Amino acid sequence: MHRAAGLCKDDEVTRAVRRRERRLVERATVYRWNIRNGTGALTRPDGSLAWFHLSTVNQGDVLTLAEGDQVDVEIENVPQGEYECRAISVRRHIE
Cα gap 38→33, rounded to integer Å: 8
Instruction: Determine the structural domain holding residue 86 and report its residue range.
Output: 23-92
Cα gap 32→66, rounded to integer Å: 8
CATH, residue 34: 2.40.50.140
For the whole model, what pTM was predicted? 0.74
15 pLDDT exceeds 90?
no
| Number of domains observed in the structure of the chain | 1
Mapped onto helix, strand or coil, the DSSP state of residue 70 is: strand
Residue 1 lies in a domain: no
pLDDT at position 12, please?
54
**pLDDT digits 0-9 by tens, 40-89:** 999 999 999 999 999 999 999 999 999 999 999 999 999 999 999 999 99
Residue 12 lies in a domain: no
pLDDT at position 2, please?
47
